[in-house]
Amino acid sequence: MRVIVEKSADEVSRRGAKFIASLVRRKPDCVLGLATGGSPLGVYAELIRMHREEDLDFSRVTTFNLDEYVGLGPTHNQSYRYFMQSNLFDHINIEPKRTHVPDGRALDFEAHCRQYEQRIADAGGIELQLLGIGTDGHIAFNEPGSSLGSRTRLKTLAGETIRDNARFFGSEEQVPRLAITMGVGTILESRQCLLIAMGDHKAAAIRSTVEGPVTAQVTASALQLHRDVIIGLDEAAGGWLERREYYAEVERANELLESGQLRALGIGNQ
């Protein structure tokens, strides 16, 4: 796991967007996994800016979103399809048919979930999966107790998640009880994961994710089993990490390596 602690939430967003943009430029037909929630908003705003001002081209990009509330259609202003349209897709040149969000109104959930997995496989798998994290340590809607091998399926939301998300719906009663979500196993199959978190309300979940044991009780901790994960944090979200100094050392060494300052790393001094 590569842990990068930035000075501010804005810097986390800018760095995250830069990372995604460089993949899109390198591989214009890449497959991106996208997330919803407050955390990725800054990343999407920056990608829109890059599209407008720096010709970042999404015309051949394919996307798969992590999850959707059951019962909400695409025009409901709290559905994740609506979120993606209004916060990203409507402002860039992506082909609508290449954007995928689970259908919260599917009648045969099992068939729909199977088909969603199949579509990901048919597209060649997800190259880069963007993730946020719930205060209970969930990724997508994989609540504590979710199997670490789980696939796209129906999931019951935990009380903590319903309380956290009530701010968007006006009251807890209005938050849907079920969601369709990619599984932890689905997420672990993406070639690279970028998890971002901002704010001190995420500090405990981040500590468990990065430095705790791998456990289904904190589904984000399963990312420790993945070979290529970047965790982008602001200082508040990284505030509970015990090995923060070490993560900063790793970043300094990476920068020296990338800029070819090998002697500063003791290479070629003899």
Hey, which residues are catalytic here? 67, 136, 138, 143
Size of the residue set binding ligand GLP (CB under 6 A): 13
CB of 107 to ligand GLP, least distance (A): 22
- Indicate whether 39 belongs to the interface with ligand GLP (CB under 6 A): yes
- Which residues inside 53-92 make contact with ligand GLP, applying CB under 6 A? 66-67
> Nearer to ligand GLP by C-beta: 51 or 138?
138
Give ∠ CA 75-38-30 in degrees, rounded to 5.
Answer: 75
CB 262 within 8 A of CB 256: yes
Q: Which stretch binds ligand GLP (CB under 6 A): 30-38, 114-122, 185-193, 247-255?
A: 30-38
Instruction: Give the tokens for residue 205.
Output: 């979940």
CB of 80 to ligand GLP, least distance (A): 8
CB of 97 to ligand GLP, least distance (A): 23
- Which residues inside 179-208 make contact with ligand GLP, applying CB under 6 A? none
Cα dist from 6 to 9, 10, 13, whole Å: 7, 9, 10
With CB under 6 A as the contact rule, the residue among 3, 16, 20, 37 that binds ligand GLP is: 37
- Indicate whether 35 belongs to the interface with ligand GLP (CB under 6 A): yes
- Indicate whether 42 belongs to the interface with ligand GLP (CB under 6 A): no
Going by the DSSP 8-state scheme, the letter that residue 104 receives in this structure is T
> Nearer to ligand GLP by C-beta: 135 or 215?
135
> Nearer to ligand GLP by C-beta: 58 or 141?
141
- Indicate whether 161 belongs to the interface with ligand GLP (CB under 6 A): yes
CB 190 within 8 A of CB 127: yes
> Nearer to ligand GLP by C-beta: 122 or 200?
200
Q: Which among 62, 60, 51, 64 is positioned nearest to 17, based on CA atoms?
A: 51
Residues 264, 249: Cα–Cα separation, whole Å: 13
With CB under 6 A as the contact rule, the residue among 133, 188, 193, 229 that binds ligand GLP is: 133
- Indicate whether 232 belongs to the interface with ligand GLP (CB under 6 A): no
Q: Which among 39, 80, 77, 49 is positioned nearest to 196, based on CA atoms?
A: 39
DSSP 129-180: EEE---TTS-BTTB-TT--TT--SEEEEPPHHHHHHHHHHHSSGGGS-SEEE
- Indicate whether 38 belongs to the interface with ligand GLP (CB under 6 A): yes
Instruction: Give the tokens for residue 241.
Output: 């990490």
Cα dist from 194 to 35, 40, 55, 245, whole Å: 10, 11, 23, 21
- Indicate whether 134 belongs to the interface with ligand GLP (CB under 6 A): yes
Binding site for ligand GLP (CB under 6 A): 35-39, 66-67, 132-134, 140-141, 161
